[in-house]
Structure 1
Amino acid sequence: MPREYLSSHTLGDTLVRFPHDPDTGVVGLEILPAALAAETVAPRESLHGEAFIDVLPGDDPWPARPVESLLQFKLVGDPYPGAFVQGHSMRNAETLRRFCFEGREVEERDGATTIETRLTSADGLLAVHRLSWREGDGALCVGCSFTNGSDRPVTLEMFASFSLSGITPFHEADAPERLNVHRFRSVWSAEGRHECRSLEELHLERSWSGAGAFSERFGQVGTMPVRKWFPFLAVEDTVSGVLWGARLHWAGSWQMEVFRQHDDVAISGGLADREFGHWMKTIAPGESFEATPATLACVKGGLDDLCDRLTAMQDEAVNTQPEVEQDLPVIFNEWCTTWGDPSHEKLCAIADRLQGSGVRYLVIDAGWYKREGTDWSSGHGDWNPSSKLFPNGIKAAADAIRERGLIPGLWYEMETVGSQSESFRAGKHFIERDGIPVTVRERRFWNMNDPAAVDFLTQRVIDLLDDCGFGYLKVDYNETAGLGCDHPDSQGEGLRRQVEGSYRFFEKIRERLPELVVENCSSGGHRLEPSMMALTAMSSFSDAHELVEIPIIAANLHRLLLPRQNQIWAVLHPEDSLQRLTYSLAATFLGRMCLSGAIEKLSKSSWNLVLEAITLYRKAVPVIKSGTSRRFGEVGKSWRHPRGWQAVVRKSETLALVVVHTFKDAPVQIEIPLAGEWVLEDSLVGESPEISGGIICHKPVGDFIGSVWLLRKP
């Protein structure tokens, strides 16, 4: 029998299909490029015809591609999934067999389409899948909810945000040697390493009979969501040239999964479940629970095309940021200037140098609160400005910065408390594990659901920022809370609520101080995920402040976040050669320019180079803000010791920004493809590449050279 579909919908250039098995009642979700619908092939229905199946006794139908449910969840008390998968996956648990398709609603309003699919059980439980799309978007949003309409509590131990199956619809069977999985690894100061592995390399070939189910489940546990992995997953059909991808919007424990039991591949993701993230949640009668949001996309093209669609979904949130942010101002952060020892005098010297330079924000980083005998890392938490560093109060420093035409900013690590602070001994106001405050690296974590903790932070953070006239807040977060914290349901649920409490405090800051610019930092890039990006104007890209791999990391992140939100540091030293300064400054054109270092001690020629870079950056803002990026070159396997070269070309309709870095053993000539006709508008340090026949030809003068060219269509 051919596969049945409840319905199909064309949303933009994406075809959405809901396969339905009338015998089991299971409803699935498939997406594909609408233009390729005619190229799909009917999947085989059974394994019959394979010699190793036909020799078996009995009348088993041996299904080849049964429908996988678009909702994946598991209730405590129901049998666990078989096929040797327990401990590796909780997909396709017996819970799903209790639910039947109940109805479908499609709503179209104001250019938006929402497709709601409802599953119900005999005892009154309701699971809802909502797929939404807005006109002009290249991706789809997914939201799932669970409502307990029964007369007794039930406990979830797995609830996915999305489940997408039917990969690939362009092969009738198990698509050997054509499916690849794309992920991005991440560690401290080395964010965004792309990994591409075949299904075969991941040992995800289907079993010969379907009796075995296999899963590649990955993610992270804790409150640093970008730790080991980004919450991103894509599968590529290398023959059809189609990719399917997903991103999670969540700053806590999460998981993604590539699942294979039959011919097709399914991907899913969401909150880390009981097996992976210690999560269970009890839903009382009449209560509902919403899964974390996810974004899905598919495209005929390459990985960059898929990532463009997913990252573009962040535009809406960033466009609501304060008006002062809309022209992408340049930032100066004094961290690599004073190294945790800022003072009124030092800040005034920095502000004097920056006056009239084109820099708009001057951010006071960690250490402004230090008491005698404490340090910046463990002395935070009370948030009383140091009378030694700021004898006239920190407001006087903020006023002095504003008097010099700059917007003052201030650093907080507000969700944690250092061991040298008085607040460290604040009793029961921290999250606990086993009744003991969670303590790591001389830090504890405020319970962000404790009214007393929230009131304290409101006074010491929001009120101080407001009273002192700060226009910029840098929020850091330098440790993870780990596997979870005490809660009657589970430690994973305690952690989930902690993350929601942090969200609420960020929202409270925005409500009280709507014009405040907020930066998201977590020891660099540990919170570079969509939900935190939506709450803030920009994010620190990494803690790799002074390293040669800065341009490599910055380029990686073009696939994962908008450059307009990606703050790239250039630390400037008086002893740096002009070549080294240019290398550092060039990297900032890959996102938001942030300067640091002993700028007041730079020579005239060095400072003039900085001013030239700022001027060029202002010209490049339109294409940094709105464009698409492609990367070229070869840097070798080691980022700490890179070899070769890298070029990032970012284009809009009228501008092209080309940022080139060479590394050790650079080639004598570099050729960069650039379709169309372009002329040089401006460049850093006056370089003029040869542009001809859709190729940029550049002859670098050595290793570790940075170049920036702004091109315009004639």
Structure 2
Amino acid sequence: MSVNAQDARELRWGGDRIALSFLVDPGAAVSLITVADAAGGAARLEPTDRRADPHRDQPLVEVSAHGHGRFPGGYRHVDTVIGRRLRYLDHHDREVDGGRELRIRQTDADTSLVATSVFRVAEGVPAVRAWTEIECDTPLVLDFVSSLATGAVYDATGRGIDGLDLLSAASDWVAESRWERRPLRRIGLARIDRELQHHPPRSRYVIGSRGAWSTGEALPTGVLLPTDGDRDALCSAWQVEHNGPWLYELGETRSGAYLLLAGPTDQEHQWSHRLLPGEPFVSVPVSLAVGRGGADGALAALTAQRRAIRRHRPVDDTLPVVFNDYMNTLMGDPTRDKLLPLIDAAAEAGADAFCIDAGWYAEGTWWDSVGAWEPAASRFPHGIREVIDRIREHGMVAGLWLEPEVVGVRSPLARSLPDSAFFSRDGVRVAEHGRHLLDLRDPAARAHVDAVVDRLVGEYGIAFIKLDHNTMPGPGSDAHGLSAGAGLLGHSRALLDWIDDVQARHPQLLIENCSSGAMRMDYAMLSRLHLQSTSDQQDPVMYAPIAAAAPASILPEQAGHWAYPNERMDDELFTLSLVNGMLGRMYLSGYLNRMAPARRALVAEAVAAHKALLPALTRSTALWPLGLPDWEAPWVALALGADDAVHLSVWRRPGAEPEVALPFPTLRGRGLAVEPYFPAQPNGWQWRWDPDAGVLTVHTTVEAPSARVLRLREA
């Protein structure tokens, strides 16, 4: 439907839990002006008096190309000339499986470029998924395309930029998910006199990650919250869903503000794309959610969205407790004689799967010689099937660690595979950390990794793979005359296609997502894979804030937390190491075979308690009574609520006072019984529930570090 009238109109659309409205004006680019938690329904264009709405200052799409940059110039990804020139063509609304889809088309008369903004909502979910499709009938080199840009999220609270905080998270190897809440005015969005300057502010605040580690520097999730803590305010949360480079940017327009979500860019990631007729470019998908109740409510909405976009398979319902031999145990040195007693002990503890981690293929020093993924005869003198058979005899699923995207520089495959199978820069193979990086766009590379997985599944009966990726390829590969960033984007998408194909061929295969712990913890990967390693952190006390923060960025049923008890630990640290794995997916390790009977019984108690939680885990949402944990927090707490109960993990770390008050505003006024869940006896911990205040006070006489899991339910 074309716009012929001179007056602006409002296009209203959404689902049963979220409503969006767009300003459609013949003289301006389309803008997203409202994101609300009311029902939206089918698309409809209506007259509006909102021509002066400040949100129209931010176009829905920002796109730049060689010869078509920004005005005014600067570091920001808004103010693009093409984005400002776009004009509405039409829109189409249709039903899709489980929800609705809206497509809004705009065109730039100067270049003939057509930008299509795609929005999808799922039934019962207060969130929208979005991306941008760009096509042109003349050649054009793109250097930036937004997935979504809007000013609507700022005024959801009714406060504007001066009254809002950003909740965001830095991440690093063994220091993942470090959340911080800061006012927007204190993170770089300086206040200026806009009228005096006659221009909008040019400052921005940008968060992103580079290379193949999508979460190696920061998490692609953010939340905007009212500074005054008003829990009735509507808050916005978002995530970028890409297994490579991405960013989100916050800033101000002449009369409002904006949030921009995007994949790789030229400025930050050396990305550009040659757009040819008949070959559209599609940006990476993003999700935007709204909820009330502060960070808990906004992140609960994003949790519902993650479940809605996940490609769930029947085998995912098995939710096995996995024992892995690596962490604080064999550490990449598995052999037959070391594994067999561990397998027996893991089965006795109640594990459902046993994964043989790194090193099973290694003859001597192996880091820079990997690639063939054949069992090492020196480690398995009777063949690896002997060990796998022992796993299966105990009724457990057998698993192996695999890092298929790399080939060691000393591997014979580095000479037998063609040059086209590898990342390269200026005709030279990329070599990082003793490895070459396979480019899965290449048929030879794809055939190699297919053959490896098919052999492990078909010949050895492997039904669980720990998919790792420990090497960073830099900005990407410029093979085929592409920019390095375009090469990395192409490989990242080929990796997703490969995962889809593997799981279609092997529907009973479970795949864990790992990348030096959690360096690729994104929902391009997690919408497909079963489990996510949340860290490589070896200190159980330092693991506490990682485990507690995980549900802010991934689903509880996908959060694989290490539980690695050690016989040398004192009783409290031994218990704490098991508590770490309780509210998520317990990823068990440790020399269980060397433990005294009482310690092994406690491990079995923890596994049984965890299994009892699993059916409700897929329906749970997280609560953080102390807020998302600071990395150095003395007390750490995470609650998961589902059905008629709330399970609460509480960690007391060194330096903490003996007592802490845990507010639960959503439970205020309810008479609750509070009882120990794990371990079954309080052992020096006490608590009292104040229903009028909605506060649980916990007191312990036990020296830190110490931890417990409690259960709260109706008295």
Q: Please report the TM-score for the alignment, with normalisation by the length of structure 1.
A: 0.90
Moved more, 106-115 or 699-708: 106-115
Alignment check: 8 A CA contact 2:272 2:483 kept: yes
Instruction: For 1:99 and 1:330, locate their aligned partners in 2 and report how far apart those are by CA, in whole Å.
Output: 52
Alignment check: 8 A CA contact 2:64 2:83 kept: yes
Instruction: Give the one of 612, 615, 620 matched to 2:613.
Output: 620
- The answer for the alignment partner of 2:711 in structure 1 is 710
- The answer for the alignment partner of 2:234 in structure 1 is 242
Instruction: For 1:291 and 1:109, locate their aligned partners in 2 and report how far apart those are by CA, in whole Å.
Output: 20
Go from structure 1 to structure 2 and tell me whether the alpha carbon gap of 1:6 and 1:343 turns closer, same or farther (over 3 Å shift). same
Instruction: For 2:643 and 2:135, locate their aligned partners in 1 and report how far apart those are by CA, in whole Å.
Output: 47
Instruction: Give the one of 680, 689, 692 matched to 1:686.
Output: 680
Question: Is 1:89 aligned to residue 76 of structure 2?
Answer: yes
* SS of match in other structure, 1:706: strand
- The answer for the alignment partner of 2:43 in structure 1 is none
Question: Is 1:677 aligned to residue 671 of structure 2?
Answer: yes
- The answer for the alignment partner of 2:326 in structure 1 is 335
Q: Offset at 1:134? A: 1.9
1:507-561 C-alpha deviation (Å, 9 max, x unpaired): 2220221101100000001111111111210010001033411111111111111
Moved more, 268-277 or 662-671: 662-671
Question: Is 1:216 aligned to residue 202 of structure 2?
Answer: no
Instruction: For 2:438 and 2:97, locate their aligned partners in 1 and report how far apart those are by CA, in whole Å.
Output: 42
Q: Offset at 1:155? A: 1.6
Instruction: Give the one of 502, 517, 522 matched to 2:495.
Output: 502
Q: Offset at 1:272? A: 1.8
Q: Offset at 1:466? A: 2.1
Alignment check: 8 A CA contact 1:214 1:261 kept: no
1:662-683 C-alpha deviation (Å, 9 max, x unpaired): 0113322333345233335652
Q: Offset at 1:170? A: 6.6
Instruction: For 2:161 and 2:258, locate their aligned partners in 1 and report how far apart those are by CA, in whole Å.
Output: 15
- The answer for the alignment partner of 1:121 in structure 2 is 108
* SS of match in other structure, 1:548: helix
The one-letter amino acid paired with 2:708 is S
Alignment check: 8 A CA contact 2:26 2:88 kept: no
Question: Is 1:155 aligned to residue 155 of structure 2?
Answer: no
Instruction: For 2:285 and 2:452, locate their aligned partners in 1 and report how far apart those are by CA, in whole Å.
Output: 32
Moved more, 457-466 or 507-516: 457-466
Alignment check: 8 A CA contact 2:676 2:710 kept: yes
Go from structure 1 to structure 2 and tell me whether the alpha carbon gap of 1:343 and 1:193 turns closer, same or farther (over 3 Å shift). same
Go from structure 1 to structure 2 and tell me whether the alpha carbon gap of 1:539 and 1:169 turns closer, same or farther (over 3 Å shift). closer
- The answer for the alignment partner of 2:431 in structure 1 is 439
The one-letter amino acid paired with 1:233 is G
1:214-249 C-alpha deviation (Å, 9 max, x unpaired): 322331220000021111233334467332222111
Go from structure 1 to structure 2 and tell me whether the alpha carbon gap of 1:321 and 1:683 turns closer, same or farther (over 3 Å shift). same
Instruction: For 2:502 and 2:95, locate their aligned partners in 1 and report how far apart those are by CA, in whole Å.
Output: 34
* SS of match in other structure, 1:233: strand
- The answer for the alignment partner of 2:122 in structure 1 is 134
Alignment check: 8 A CA contact 2:20 2:32 kept: no
Instruction: For 2:603 and 2:161, locate their aligned partners in 1 and report how far apart those are by CA, in whole Å.
Output: 54
Q: Offset at 1:589? A: 1.0
- The answer for the alignment partner of 1:192 in structure 2 is 177
Moved more, 227-236 or 562-571: 227-236
Go from structure 1 to structure 2 and tell me whether the alpha carbon gap of 1:114 and 1:65 turns closer, same or farther (over 3 Å shift). closer
Go from structure 1 to structure 2 and tell me whether the alpha carbon gap of 1:363 and 1:33 turns closer, same or farther (over 3 Å shift). same
Instruction: For 1:24 and 1:277, locate their aligned partners in 2 and report how far apart those are by CA, in whole Å.
Output: 30
Alignment check: 8 A CA contact 1:369 1:379 kept: no
Q: Offset at 1:354? A: 2.2
1:592-645 C-alpha deviation (Å, 9 max, x unpaired): 1111121110111111110111111122223333212212348996x4xx4531
- The answer for the alignment partner of 1:398 in structure 2 is 388
Go from structure 1 to structure 2 and tell me whether the alpha carbon gap of 1:359 and 1:444 turns closer, same or farther (over 3 Å shift). same
Q: Offset at 1:300? A: 3.0
Instruction: For 1:636 and 1:505, locate their aligned partners in 2 and report how far apart those are by CA, in whole Å.
Output: 36
Instruction: For 2:323 and 2:157, locate their aligned partners in 1 and report how far apart those are by CA, in whole Å.
Output: 54
The one-letter amino acid paired with 1:23 is G
Go from structure 1 to structure 2 and tell me whether the alpha carbon gap of 1:3 and 1:200 turns closer, same or farther (over 3 Å shift). farther
Q: Which runs of 5+ in 1 are unaligned?
A: 37-41, 46-62
1:318-374 C-alpha deviation (Å, 9 max, x unpaired): 572343x42522111001322211122222111111234321011000001112x32
Q: Offset at 1:297? A: 1.4
Instruction: For 1:568 and 1:636, locate their aligned partners in 2 and report how far apart those are by CA, in whole Å.
Output: 16
- The answer for the alignment partner of 1:52 in structure 2 is none
Question: Is 1:24 aligned to residue 21 of structure 2?
Answer: no
Alignment check: 8 A CA contact 1:73 1:158 kept: yes
Instruction: Give the one of 368, 372, 389 matched to 1:382.
Output: 372
- The answer for the alignment partner of 1:611 in structure 2 is 604
* SS of match in other structure, 2:341: helix
Q: Please report the TM-score for the alignment, with normalisation by the length of structure 2.
A: 0.89
Q: Offset at 1:140? A: 0.6
- The answer for the alignment partner of 1:230 in structure 2 is 219
Go from structure 1 to structure 2 and tell me whether the alpha carbon gap of 1:627 and 1:635 turns closer, same or farther (over 3 Å shift). closer
Q: Offset at 1:441? A: 0.9
- The answer for the alignment partner of 2:455 in structure 1 is 463
Go from structure 1 to structure 2 and tell me whether the alpha carbon gap of 1:138 and 1:388 turns closer, same or farther (over 3 Å shift). same
Alignment check: 8 A CA contact 2:72 2:79 kept: no
Instruction: For 1:636 and 1:25, locate their aligned partners in 2 and report how far apart those are by CA, in whole Å.
Output: 41
Instruction: For 1:693 and 1:195, locate their aligned partners in 2 and report how far apart those are by CA, in whole Å.
Output: 29
1:230-276 C-alpha deviation (Å, 9 max, x unpaired): 11233334467332222111001111111312221111112221111
Instruction: For 1:162 and 1:344, locate their aligned partners in 2 and report how far apart those are by CA, in whole Å.
Output: 52
1:19-57 C-alpha deviation (Å, 9 max, x unpaired): 234433544443134399xxxxx9995xxxxxxxxxxxx
Instruction: For 1:99 and 1:355, locate their aligned partners in 2 and report how far apart those are by CA, in whole Å.
Output: 62
Question: Is 1:529 aligned to residue 522 of structure 2?
Answer: yes
Q: Offset at 1:213? A: 2.6
Instruction: For 2:29 and 2:319, locate their aligned partners in 1 and report how far apart those are by CA, in whole Å.
Output: 52
Instruction: For 2:30 and 2:604, locate their aligned partners in 1 and report how far apart those are by CA, in whole Å.
Output: 63
Alignment check: 8 A CA contact 1:65 1:262 kept: no
Instruction: Give the one of 168, 177, 188 matched to 1:203.
Output: 188
Instruction: For 2:498 and 2:465, locate their aligned partners in 1 and report how far apart those are by CA, in whole Å.
Output: 13
Q: Offset at 1:582? A: 0.1
Go from structure 1 to structure 2 and tell me whether the alpha carbon gap of 1:503 and 1:297 turns closer, same or farther (over 3 Å shift). same
Q: Offset at 1:158? A: 0.8
Instruction: For 1:227 and 1:567, locate their aligned partners in 2 and report how far apart those are by CA, in whole Å.
Output: 18
- The answer for the alignment partner of 2:18 in structure 1 is 14
Go from structure 1 to structure 2 and tell me whether the alpha carbon gap of 1:8 and 1:252 turns closer, same or farther (over 3 Å shift). same
1:249-328 correspondence runs (5 A): 249-316=241-308, 318=310, 320-323=312-315, 325-328=316-319
Q: Offset at 1:6? A: 2.5
- The answer for the alignment partner of 2:412 in structure 1 is 422
- The answer for the alignment partner of 1:592 in structure 2 is 585
The percent of aligned pairs where both chains have the same amino acid is 25
Instruction: For 1:661 and 1:669, locate their aligned partners in 2 and report how far apart those are by CA, in whole Å.
Output: 11
- The answer for the alignment partner of 2:66 in structure 1 is 76
Q: Offset at 1:314? A: 2.1
Instruction: For 2:555 and 2:157, locate their aligned partners in 1 and report how far apart those are by CA, in whole Å.
Output: 34
Alignment check: 8 A CA contact 1:258 1:268 kept: yes
1:133-157 C-alpha deviation (Å, 9 max, x unpaired): 1221121111221122x2x311211
Alignment check: 8 A CA contact 2:626 2:663 kept: no
Instruction: For 2:412 and 2:515, locate their aligned partners in 1 and report how far apart those are by CA, in whole Å.
Output: 23
The one-letter amino acid paired with 1:120 is T
Go from structure 1 to structure 2 and tell me whether the alpha carbon gap of 1:12 and 1:238 turns closer, same or farther (over 3 Å shift). farther
Instruction: For 2:617 and 2:156, locate their aligned partners in 1 and report how far apart those are by CA, in whole Å.
Output: 37
Instruction: For 2:609 and 2:77, locate their aligned partners in 1 and report how far apart those are by CA, in whole Å.
Output: 53
Go from structure 1 to structure 2 and tell me whether the alpha carbon gap of 1:611 and 1:111 turns closer, same or farther (over 3 Å shift). closer
The one-letter amino acid paired with 1:70 is L
Moved more, 206-215 or 443-452: 206-215
Q: Which runs of 5+ in 2 are unaligned?
A: 1-5, 41-48
